[in-house]
């Protein structure tokens, strides 16, 4: 069922924008807010400059930390020399020997050190820390440290890693291998009349949150440590610091500051920078601030995994998929970080949202001497779905079938079974998003028109009817269909066992206590809506506590499209519990926010604090076998159908994007404007991935460390984006909501490539589609 859209009006009129100062007072506005785009509560401080990000915090007596990093990709550290000519007065130095606990950034495996000890495994790996009260002196001190290496031959490509040019990890350089099998793909491919084969590559990608990474650490005066900073997952940092300092949980405190974007880049890396700041603070006894500049941030922090995917597909003459044999390789970089889970999600999405009775997937992630790859919006799924979507277009071409029609014939519906044997029981919007995006974009008519126009232009050119100075511009339109599982993979949510709570503030306002962070998505607003609607109070009355490990329970990380869908449901249950408690206490309900507060204050006076805590409960009937990779990989999937129109210049190879239409099944849009904002933002980021963004490496170092040469889309590069919200409610999400954070990233790249393929008549199996790739592909087409 289609509901709100960017151009359509929301189901209820939004409340009047509130002024600052009206913030604390209960509002007379509606107690029904789910589905309404109330003004974003986080917005007011951000438009006035009042919001304080980590670099905005002034800490008296603070030192400024800098990091000495490896200049080579692989080698042994022979000697570290401090320039004797430099004045080292007031400089604090720390290396791995200063670590009171373990030299490890704890995550899945303990392979990554906080500071290199003896050997370096990637360029820009942290070796030594310096700090000084004057940031310029700290920087000068950093430059006065000389590291002598015994270089070793680095492994810089996936191919070299697979060929074991050097052995970096265990015996075979393979961080993780995943195999998924359904039916008998080999037999089906052997007997099929039509077999299509393709090989696809996707590059690494840098997050470019506009706020670089930063952290402030302070000794707490009682043998513990407190860090504040820009991060997604306070309890990841908490766990990592406990290991580095050998401290019990209560001696480590982690507080999120207003965070200027994350996209996965502030999922695991903040544990590293927090550990560095905390080590300098530990050693000096003073507060220490480390804020990266852009160059350091691009060079040293994690990237999206580069990938190569080979697919062989069997299909019948009617365009029904018979089999896929899929081989995925991802570049994990020098340390394992989150790579096994990224690979897993990639493999689980590798066959796309299509029914296929015989599927064999083999996915491997390998070690290289590049900076570690890590979490980035989509988490493996954009890479594999780029490949399968391009493959679907190759199949359509072979069958002379429209790509939209091929997708229509194979897309998931309720009752279909995935390669892991998961039956899709509910909330399957694949066909809806496909049809609605195609219809809104006028896909069929434009596809036909561009084909005619491009053929006519080619004829005119051959006939010599082509004016001098005339630009050879061609247009194309492409479609893609993707899905994305919400929440942690497999039994991940059960293992996380997230807890969230609600209590009452002293003045009788309901307060949400959870560790999930606002990093731009609107977490505070949406959780105020979920709690407010459940309690029967306006969203503005609800307080959402700052993520601070001293105050909030561990509701798990802000990742994996899980915050609203998984934690939102836990908070909804907390609110329902609080409502029941207060109704039982009063023997009646309340009409509005003021009524709630009166009752809440009476409860506080008579019975003391009220706190309701709930834990994650797995949906009934969900089962996952991690050893066999069988069962319900995710509670539910979201679906995105995307249509991209593009114009290519056949002489310069430049591609201009004209328009994007994207229909997304979000289950339920709790806040339509914010949901559309996630979709537009994810779409634009993926347009950059498809067309502009290339991490270039020279001798293992990221060569383009600036925004001058690592290019992300500007407002002028980004076309108008038309969002259609489709709502196929999920019975286990709050008010029917499913995850939406990552899904929109999966769809655009293959649709861009399809549009450029129609415009140019050339074929592309690698992104980004840079002008030089377009020109090479056009030259290859001429030779054919």
Partner 1 sequence: MAAVTLRFTVNGKARRVRVPPLKRLLDVLREDCGLTGTKEGCGEGECGACTVLLDGRSVNSCLVPAVQADGARILTVEGLARGARLSALQELMVARGGTQCGICTPGILVQAHELLTRARGRVPSEAEVREALAGNLCRCTGYQKIVDAVRAAARAGKQPEKRSAPRAGKKPAEKQPARRPARKPPAKRRAAKTAERGRR
Chain contacts with partner 1 (rule: CB under 8 A): 6, 14, 17, 19-21, 37, 39-40, 42-53, 55-56, 207-212, 258-263, 293-294, 519-522, 654, 673-674, 676-677, 680-685, 692, 706-709, 711-712, 714-718, 720-721, 770-772
Instruction: Specify burial of residue 6 (Cβ count, 10 A radius: 0-12, 13-18, 19+).
Output: middle
Looking at beta carbons only, is 49 or 620 nearer to partner 1?
49
Rounded to a whole number of angstroms, the minimum distance from the CB of residue 44 to partner 1 is 6
Rounded to a whole number of angstroms, the minimum distance from the CB of residue 698 to partner 1 is 14
Whole-number Å distance between alpha carbons of 409 and 285: 66
Looking at beta carbons only, is 234 or 352 nearer to partner 1?
234
Rounded to a whole number of angstroms, the minimum distance from the CB of residue 265 to partner 1 is 10
Whole-number Å distance between alpha carbons of 396 and 481: 14
Rounded to a whole number of angstroms, the minimum distance from the CB of residue 277 to partner 1 is 18
Looking at beta carbons only, is 101 or 135 nearer to partner 1?
135
Which tokens in the block code for residue 759? 């415009």
Residue 475's nearest CA partner among 727, 758, 140 is 758
Whole-number Å distance between alpha carbons of 279 and 266: 19
Residue 311's nearest CA partner among 428, 389, 233 is 389
730: number of CA atoms within 13 Å, CB side?
A: 31
Looking at beta carbons only, is 361 or 721 nearer to partner 1?
721
Rounded to a whole number of angstroms, the minimum distance from the CB of residue 150 to partner 1 is 34
Rounded to a whole number of angstroms, the minimum distance from the CB of residue 716 to partner 1 is 4
Looking at beta carbons only, is 135 or 595 nearer to partner 1?
135
Looking at beta carbons only, is 49 or 61 nearer to partner 1?
49
Whole-number Å distance between alpha carbons of 457 and 451: 10
**Rounded to an integer, what is the distance from CA 282 to the centroid of its chain?**
32
Rounded to a whole number of angstroms, the minimum distance from the CB of residue 525 to partner 1 is 10
The alpha carbons of the chain give a radius of gyration, in whole angstroms, of 27
Strands 225-229 and 252-256: parallel
Looking at beta carbons only, is 17 or 90 nearer to partner 1?
17
47: left (phi over 0), alpha (psi -120 to 50) or beta: alpha
Sorted by sequence, the CB contacts under 8 Å of residue 139 that are 6+ apart come out as: 66
Rounded to a whole number of angstroms, the minimum distance from the CB of residue 687 to partner 1 is 8
Under 8 Å between Cβ of 558 and 519: yes
Whole-number Å distance between alpha carbons of 406 and 353: 12
Rounded to a whole number of angstroms, the minimum distance from the CB of residue 43 to partner 1 is 3
Looking at beta carbons only, is 325 or 640 nearer to partner 1?
640
Looking at beta carbons only, is 444 or 711 nearer to partner 1?
711
Sign of CA dihedral 235, 237, 243, 249: negative
Peptide bond into 768 cis (omega under 30): yes
Which tokens in the block code for residue 250? 């209560």
Under 8 Å between Cβ of 92 and 132: yes
Which tokens in the block code for residue 662? 């994207």
Residue 535's nearest CA partner among 612, 469, 458 is 612
Looking at beta carbons only, is 19 or 606 nearer to partner 1?
19
Sorted by sequence, the CB contacts under 8 Å of residue 205 that are 6+ apart come out as: 303, 304, 376, 688, 689, 693, 695
φ/ψ (deg, to 5) at 478: -135, 155
Looking at beta carbons only, is 57 or 194 nearer to partner 1?
57
φ/ψ (deg, to 5) at 734: -65, 120
Strands 611-615 and 499-504: antiparallel
Rounded to a whole number of angstroms, the minimum distance from the CB of residue 408 to partner 1 is 27
Rounded to a whole number of angstroms, the minimum distance from the CB of residue 61 to partner 1 is 16
Rounded to a whole number of angstroms, the minimum distance from the CB of residue 71 to partner 1 is 21
In angstroms, the Cα distances linking 79 to 69, 74, 303, 657 are 14, 15, 30, 52
Whole-number Å distance between alpha carbons of 407 and 437: 13
Rounded to a whole number of angstroms, the minimum distance from the CB of residue 238 to partner 1 is 22
Judged by DSSP in three states, 224 sits in coil
φ/ψ (deg, to 5) at 698: -125, 120
Looking at beta carbons only, is 17 or 100 nearer to partner 1?
17
In angstroms, the Cα distances linking 309 to 81, 392, 696, 765 are 45, 14, 20, 10
Rounded to a whole number of angstroms, the minimum distance from the CB of residue 261 to partner 1 is 4
Rounded to a whole number of angstroms, the minimum distance from the CB of residue 712 to partner 1 is 6
Looking at beta carbons only, is 418 or 683 nearer to partner 1?
683
Looking at beta carbons only, is 457 or 778 nearer to partner 1?
778
Neighbours of 49 (CB within 10 A): 8
Under 8 Å between Cβ of 36 and 11: yes
Rounded to a whole number of angstroms, the minimum distance from the CB of residue 740 to partner 1 is 13
Looking at beta carbons only, is 205 or 420 nearer to partner 1?
205
**Rounded to an integer, what is the distance from CA 196 to the centroid of its chain?**
31
Rounded to a whole number of angstroms, the minimum distance from the CB of residue 152 to partner 1 is 31
Looking at beta carbons only, is 21 or 621 nearer to partner 1?
21
Looking at beta carbons only, is 597 or 773 nearer to partner 1?
773
**Rounded to an integer, what is the distance from CA 407 to the centroid of its chain?**
26
Whole-number Å distance between alpha carbons of 264 and 247: 27
């Amino acid at each position: 069922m289609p509901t709100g859209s960017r151009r359509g009006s929301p189901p209820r009129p939004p409340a009047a924008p509130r002024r600052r100062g009206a913030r604390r007072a209960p509002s007379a506005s509606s107690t029904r807010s789910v589905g309404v785009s109330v003004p974003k509560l986080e917005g007011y401080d951000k438009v006035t400059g009042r919001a304080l990000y980590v670099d905005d915090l002034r800490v008296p007596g603070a030192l400024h930390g800098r990091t000495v990093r490896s200049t080579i990709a692989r080698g042994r550290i022979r000697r570290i020399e401090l320039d004797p000519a430099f004045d080292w007065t007031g400089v604090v130095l720390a290396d791995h020997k200063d670590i009171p606990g373990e030299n490890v950034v704890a995550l899945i495996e303990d392979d990554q050190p906080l500071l290199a000890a003896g050997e370096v495994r990637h360029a820009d790996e942290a070796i030594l820390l310096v700090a000084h009260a004057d940031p310029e002196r700290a920087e000068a001190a950093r430059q006065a440290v000389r590291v002598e290496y015994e270089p070793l031959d680095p492994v810089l490509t996936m191919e070299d890693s697979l060929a074991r040019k050097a052995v970096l990890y265990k015996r075979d350089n393979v961080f993780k291998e995943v195999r998924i099998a359904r039916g008998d793909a080999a037999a089906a491919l052997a007997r099929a009349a039509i077999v299509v084969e393709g090989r696809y590559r996707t590059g690494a990608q840098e997050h470019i949150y506009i706020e670089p990474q930063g952290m402030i650490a302070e000794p707490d005066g009682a043998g513990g440590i407190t860090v504040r900073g820009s991060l997604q997952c306070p309890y990841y940092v908490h766990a990592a610091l406990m290991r580095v300092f050998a401290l019990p949980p209560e001696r480590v405190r982690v507080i999120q500051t207003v965070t200027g974007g994350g996209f996965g880049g502030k999922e695991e890396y903040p544990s590293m920078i927090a550990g560095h700041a905390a080590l300098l603070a530990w050693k000096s006894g003073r507060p220490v601030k480390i804020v990266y500049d852009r160059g350091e941030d691009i060079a040293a922090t994690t990237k999206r995994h580069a990938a190569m995917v080979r697919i062989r597909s069997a299909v019948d003459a009617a365009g029904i998929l018979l089999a896929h044999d899929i081989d995925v390789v991802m570049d994990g970089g020098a340390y394992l970080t989150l790579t096994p889970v990224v690979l897993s999600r990639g493999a689980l999405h590798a066959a796309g949202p299509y029914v296929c009775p015989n599927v064999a997937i083999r996915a491997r992630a390998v070690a290289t001497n590049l900076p570690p790859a890590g979490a980035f919006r989509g988490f493996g799924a954009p890479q594999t779905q780029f490949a399968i979507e391009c493959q679907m277009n190759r199949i359509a071409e072979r069958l002379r079938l429209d790509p939209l029609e091929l997708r229509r014939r194979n897309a998931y519906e309720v009752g279909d079974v995935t390669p892991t044997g998961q039956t899709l029981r509910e909330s399957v919007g694949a066909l809806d998003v496909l049809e609605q995006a195609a219809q809104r974009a006028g896909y069929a008519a434009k596809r036909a028109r561009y084909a005619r126009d491009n053929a006519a232009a080619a004829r005119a050119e051959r006939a010599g009817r082509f004016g001098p100075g005339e630009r050879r511009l061609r247009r194309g339109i492409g479609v893609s269909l993707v899905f994305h599982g919400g929440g942690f993979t497999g039994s991940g949510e059960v293992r996380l066992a997230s807890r969230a709570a609600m209590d009452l503030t002293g003045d009788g306002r309901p307060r949400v206590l959870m560790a999930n962070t606002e990093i731009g998505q609107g977490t505070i607003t949406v959780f105020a809506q979920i709690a407010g609607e459940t309690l029967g109070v306006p969203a503005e009355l609800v307080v959402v506590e700052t993520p601070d490990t001293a105050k909030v329970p561990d509701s798990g990380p802000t990742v994996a499209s899980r915050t609203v869908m998984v934690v939102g449901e836990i908070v909804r249950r907390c609110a329902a519990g609080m409502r029941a408690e207060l109704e039982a206490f009063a023997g009646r309900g309340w009409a509005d926010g003021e009524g709630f507060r009166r009752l809440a204050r009476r409860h506080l006076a008579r019975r003391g604090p009220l706190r309701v805590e709930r834990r994650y409960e797995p949906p009934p009937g969900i089962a996952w076998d991690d050893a066999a990779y069988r069962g319900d990989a995710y509670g539910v999937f979201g679906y995105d159908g995307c249509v991209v129109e593009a114009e290519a210049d056949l002489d310069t190879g430049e591609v201009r994007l004209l328009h994007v239409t994207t229909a997304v099944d979000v289950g339920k849009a709790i806040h339509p404007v914010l949901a559309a904002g996630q979709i537009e933002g994810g779409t634009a980021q993926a347009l950059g991935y498809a067309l502009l963004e290339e991490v270039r490496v020279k001798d293992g170092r990221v060569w383009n460390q600036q925004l001058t040469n690592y290019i992300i889309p500007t407002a002028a590069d980004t076309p108008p984006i038309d969002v259609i919200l489709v709502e196929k409610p999920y019975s286990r999400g709050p008010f029917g909501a499913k995850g939406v954070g990552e899904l929109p990233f999966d769809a655009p790249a293959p649709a861009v490539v399809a549009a450029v393929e129609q415009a140019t008549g050339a074929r592309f199996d690698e992104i980004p589609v840079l002008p030089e790739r377009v020109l090479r592909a056009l030259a290859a087409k001429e030779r054919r």
